[in-house]
Homo-oligomer: A and B are copies of this chain.
Amino acid sequence: MRVRHLMVPPLIVSTVIVVTVLAPSSSSAQTKSCYPPEYTESGDLILPKNFHEWVFVGSPLTPNALNGGQAGFPEFHNVYIEPCSYETYKKTNVFPDGTIFFKELQLTLPPAENADGSRTEPSGRGYFPGAWNGANVTVKDTKRYTDTGGWGYYNFNHHEPKAPTAK
């Protein structure tokens, strides 16, 4: 078993998330796709495709009800990393240029039953995934983003639909 420590940019998640990667032992295989960043002619980032099938990193939750009714990032932060840059990271311990972290926001399932925004489902009292709610995307490019430490930050709305491009 190989253990990897995945350090993600601080604006994506506010804590370090440790990810253990087990060496695969599959009996069959199929094609796995790569999703390098794509830009418009004017340099805006195009909304990455198929991110729901990227590698999941973690899902912090900042409920609106615990943040004065409007969290800065409402509410689940489902963070994914682009799979091919993740493969490179596993081998080198460095995020290659072109690495994308996709943070899809997702509201908690309504209606809340308590002042803290929680509700009760068969598994207990807590917070349950509801409607999608926009996305933030972070891209590594040490040449393009020299002014921001090699990472570019994009807001594709904090509501649906997600913007097709972001500055």
Contacts and interface: CB of A to CB of B under 8 A. Distances in A.
A44 interface: no
Q: How many copies does the complex hold?
A: 2
Main secondary structure of the interface of A (DSSP, over half): mixed
B50 A124 contact: no
Interface in A26-80: 26-36, 49-53, 55-56, 58-63, 66-67, 71-73, 75-78, 80
Interface of A: 10, 13-15, 17, 19-36, 49-53, 55-56, 58-63, 66-67, 71-73, 75-78, 80, 83-84, 86-87, 106, 109, 116, 118, 121-129, 132
17 contacts: A20-B52, A20-B132, A21-B52, A21-B53, A25-B49, A25-B50, A26-B35, A26-B49, A28-B36, A30-B31, A30-B34, A30-B87, A31-B32, A53-B83, A60-B128, A61-B127, A62-B124
